[in-house]
Structure 1
């Protein structure tokens, strides 16, 4: 049967039903039934997608650039500052980072050692560097340094590669509520674990490195997995690694992972793998359980690519500085970095988007440089600057790396769960989910449409047949832009409690809109 399409406010529902089963595109996946309870389910991968129909597709969304969050311009900081750890802790936000002045074209010995410094914020937007009075810099302890490089109780600490987090393990001891990982160099080579009761004063957690098999020349991290009740670590690993005469590694930069029950003893070491992604050099990993859906690990690895000299390379900003950097090593002048997006359901096999999540951006001084667009570990939830709008996600990324005397950290924002959506144009599309069971009384959508767009939802039984009262024609048309709205059916209202525990699937039909996530609650 042929259907007509109407424009704008005259848009007819017939355009949605024009999508037929024969037009579905089917991802390769298992068809087992999943028990989701009341958790938030994201469309960050194709795990929940059984079929896509019409012109529906998965669409990755780029973060929106905001203000410069912090400038690393203190005398003990500098242009080499980076490797940020950011997390919300009660009423404050905490930030830990490498503090270093570095110029790729100069002798590194001219500058101060690497430190780990601390900043905090009440809103995740405005940051201050408190005077901690812990470590001396050029005769004064008036600074925000929390870790220093050098010999320490048998270790050769490199404080410039820190990863700090608050341990959410409910059984954690009070004196180890905060944990940090620092590299040890030639002496006792590996990752060193520290503990703290307050995030400021630190002591050793172990007299020996907790992990020794790796390259470690990146931000190496670990955290508590609240779903699987274990610690998980991710660190830099080189396959077929060798060193050349400039002490630079050759080989494939990979990410290695392992799990632990006590944070000291780690087992099951293996390299992270990817579904349908080419082999690429990844500098950081920035993986953590997503706080709104902790069964999903989300990572923001930095992609590193050496492009060599070309007309385009010479057209990028600050050619003279680029050429000067290349005199020390060509990669310092011609390598570029940007942030990718990846996710995993098991912590080992990741779905990685091959397109950039955060590009180098519009060309200006301090951009398109090796070391730029390294995302901080990890995102946090902050208030929107629009009155009445819901909270949003704040992400932070480096700028002006190895330039002048201060690198910068810019804040970016994204809607809650807004990494990827099921998107359809005005001509229509739809998604059929895999079968699952749930707990809850209502079905909420995180979605956005145009003024003319709309979404309708149909609930199907385990055999794929519409459940009476929850068929497509029963669903009230949904339009707007919100992170949580219950779906309403004309005959059944919003109450879906009678379907709890039953095997069902969802058919969601979309016109000029996006669905980011759904949740029964």
Structure 2
């Protein structure tokens, strides 16, 4: 810990530091003119400084430029930044490891004449599960401000982002102010940042939940004003203890329950040698699209899967709910049940399939479209319904609620001056006994926020709650989450996933999450985020992500595209959107349903007069082998994979999903100290392409040890999953 500061500690229960630790006599650290005492090497995590002798980019380690441009110079031992344009430099301290009791301290001096941060972060800390942002602001003829990052952003106009400076009257951002930040990590990430300025305790700041990123870093971001920085020093990641992450504990519990362990993350991977992690793309059906926009008059504008596909095993049938739009906005109005509606009114249509590939559009006879009831339209919402997430709930004691729907209901004014049924732009729910004839909840809306995307609704059997995902409350094209025990009363929305700087770096522009198809598959949340490459290709394609709890998400497959766009001009050559619960399993095949558009998001749409055959979207399917998202691949040279520790329930056998058609796999069982267990040191050879093969050893029964690890020895093989059954 840096110990020259005499600031009294803010009382922080277990978070406070009560012991500064021993100091090695005579060992000092000179930081831009400031003298601080350094701790012994045995107690340090990462200790460093930014000296005033060279620019940050030239220091060791270097501060990398993340974005933008500015004029940088060294003047009187200070790093000076002028004319910043979206300018940011960061220093990576290390990788995120879940810890408890790890001590951290950062200090710096900062002078600025900036009058508006323009939503720039200023100084920021990215640490375990949280981040903190601070930016001083000079206001002529008014007290200067110190801004902090909050959920709604940070700026002079956002009162919630103003730090209370009562303890520091006369704060002047143009003078050299000494900032000190201290924090101690906690297993549950419920720690605070202790802030002092010029030797005075100011506040305990909560910071913000960390949505994306796995690094521990500090940085500066500026978009206006001149900034002079000196005396930057850090002592981070010191002491404490590593803890097993909640995700790893969940993985062990799921494995004991018989769920398959996939390789979407590395929580259950202890060691790899000679193994390559490989993303496998699903195969698009050769006869796509399976439902076309021009199949029926009521879907000539679009047949779009801002809806849901479910496979119902007890009925041996696939059921699909999709949006049907009859006409473009500039065409003639339509009539529903004898009443005029805007031409592009979004209706809910229904389709069925026995094999997931060939679909029928049954004549439901529920809604009159332009005078005829011969159509597959459901009786559904009062106004436009978009992003309809359907849940099949056969165990609901009320038979009229066996199907549940969650969607954005919104009224649209049009030049036709057609009256709306109700003024609304919020989240609504409906219920049905058969999924065709629906009853709207009388208390709609259930979430008073809009969300223009495909929504996800599903039942989490582990938390025993319904979960919904969309943009409601996310603050743009990001992913928010809400949960409910009755499908009517929903929790406040929570931002859980968003695109980040790595996405920007990969293709440029302004990448965003347009939406994300979400399924609970083998006890793990699997997400298919739709990456909108705005100001780059302006197309939408699909990647892969996973979460053990539905809240903390991470990318899988090294951010490679899972479902790519087709060639330019083809039916899915511009944009791809997946269904709600897009992964449906039948036998050993995963069916992935999606909508495709031929034009990208920003291309002008042709008029019907120019191209009568043009429609906005159609629906297709791609297939993947069971568990086939990501494999651990071994080449010709022998390779090994060792799993994390887990308990082996009595009476269970080990199963694998593996392709060793050109190679082989053997499995050993190790105790908690890494020693082979007698009778289970090396299994019989496994070969061939097998989606479910039982591993056999010379030993009988199951391994006798409190905790075990698996050691896979592989050549020319792909391992997709393992489980106990």
Same-fold call, TM > 0.5? Answer: yes
How far did 1:367 drift?
A: 4.0
Work out the CA distance in 1 between the residues paired with 2:577 and 2:455.
17
**1:201-220 matched pairs, under 5 angstroms:** 201-213=437-449, 215-220=450-455
Question: Tell me, what secondary structure is at the counterpart of 1:378?
Answer: strand
2:667 is equivalent to residue 448 of structure 1: no
Give the counterpart of 2:560 among 334, 350, 355: 355
Aligned to 2:293: 72
Work out the CA distance in 2 between the residues paired with 1:162 and 1:117.
11
Structure 2's unaligned 5+ residue stretches are: 1-94, 99-242, 334-342, 412-422, 504-510, 600-612
Work out the CA distance in 2 between the residues paired with 1:516 and 1:224.
26
Aligned to 2:621: 411
How far did 1:197 drift?
A: 0.8
Give the counterpart of 1:42 among 262, 278, 290: 262
Work out the CA distance in 2 between the residues paired with 1:79 and 1:52.
51
Give the root-mean-square deviation of aligned CA atoms.
Answer: 2.6
Aligned to 2:324: 99
Give the counterpart of 1:199 among 435, 441, 449: 435
Structure 2 vs 1, CA of residues 447 and 434 (structure 1 numbering), >3 Å: closer, same or farther?
same
2:532 is equivalent to residue 300 of structure 1: no
Structure 2 vs 1, CA of residues 304 and 382 (structure 1 numbering), >3 Å: closer, same or farther?
same
2:541 is equivalent to residue 338 of structure 1: yes
Work out the CA distance in 2 between the residues paired with 1:102 and 1:428.
60
Question: Tell me, what secondary structure is at the counterpart of 2:400?
Answer: helix
Structure 2 vs 1, CA of residues 262 and 365 (structure 1 numbering), >3 Å: closer, same or farther?
closer
Work out the CA distance in 1 between the residues paired with 2:569 and 2:97.
42
How far did 1:397 drift?
A: 2.2
Q: Deviations over 1:429-482 (max 9, x none)?
A: 22111101132431110000242x1111110111111111111xx322211111
**1:265-276 matched pairs, under 5 angstroms:** 265-267=489-491, 269-273=493-497
How far did 1:284 drift?
A: 1.7
Work out the CA distance in 2 between the residues paired with 1:336 and 1:394.
23
> Does the CA contact (< 8 Å) of 2:390 and 2:580 recur in 1?
no
Aligned to 2:464: 229
2:485 is equivalent to residue 261 of structure 1: yes
2:382 is equivalent to residue 163 of structure 1: no
Work out the CA distance in 1 between the residues paired with 2:464 and 2:580.
24
Q: Deviations over 1:285-320 (max 9, x none)?
A: 111211xx1x21111121111245xxxxxxxxxxxx
Work out the CA distance in 2 between the residues paired with 1:44 and 1:115.
36
> Does the CA contact (< 8 Å) of 2:454 and 2:580 recur in 1?
no
Work out which of the two has the higher radius of gyration on C-alpha atoms and give 1 or 2.
2
Q: Deviations over 1:116-162 (max 9, x none)?
A: 1000112212110001111111111111111466xx3xxxx222432
Question: Tell me, what secondary structure is at the counterpart of 1:72?
Answer: coil
Bigger relative contact order, structure 1 or 2, given CA contacts below 8 A and separation 6+?
A: 1
Work out the CA distance in 2 between the residues paired with 1:228 and 1:512.
40
Aligned to 1:329: none
Work out the number of aligned pairs and report it.
Answer: 431
How far did 1:361 drift?
A: 3.2
Structure 2 vs 1, CA of residues 28 and 469 (structure 1 numbering), >3 Å: closer, same or farther?
farther
2:514 is equivalent to residue 283 of structure 1: yes
Structure 2 vs 1, CA of residues 217 and 112 (structure 1 numbering), >3 Å: closer, same or farther?
closer
Work out the CA distance in 2 between the residues paired with 1:39 and 1:374.
25
Structure 2 vs 1, CA of residues 108 and 335 (structure 1 numbering), >3 Å: closer, same or farther?
farther
Structure 2 vs 1, CA of residues 121 and 239 (structure 1 numbering), >3 Å: closer, same or farther?
closer
2:628 is equivalent to residue 397 of structure 1: no
How far did 1:172 drift?
A: 4.2
> Does the CA contact (< 8 Å) of 1:398 and 1:410 recur in 2?
yes
Q: Deviations over 1:317-337 (max 9, x none)?
A: xxxxxxxxxxxxxxxxx6201
> Does the CA contact (< 8 Å) of 1:238 and 1:253 recur in 2?
no
Structure 2 vs 1, CA of residues 148 and 167 (structure 1 numbering), >3 Å: closer, same or farther?
closer
How far did 1:107 drift?
A: 3.5
Give the counterpart of 1:113 among 337, 340, 345: 345
Work out the CA distance in 2 between the residues paired with 1:27 and 1:458.
31
Work out the CA distance in 2 between the residues paired with 1:136 and 1:40.
47
TM-score by length of 1: 0.76
Aligned to 1:518: 722
Structure 2 vs 1, CA of residues 276 and 497 (structure 1 numbering), >3 Å: closer, same or farther?
farther
Q: Deviations over 1:27-46 (max 9, x none)?
A: 96754763332222111221
2:642 is equivalent to residue 432 of structure 1: yes
Aligned to 1:124: 356
> Does the CA contact (< 8 Å) of 1:437 and 1:504 recur in 2?
yes
TM-score by length of 2: 0.56
How far did 1:350 drift?
A: 1.1
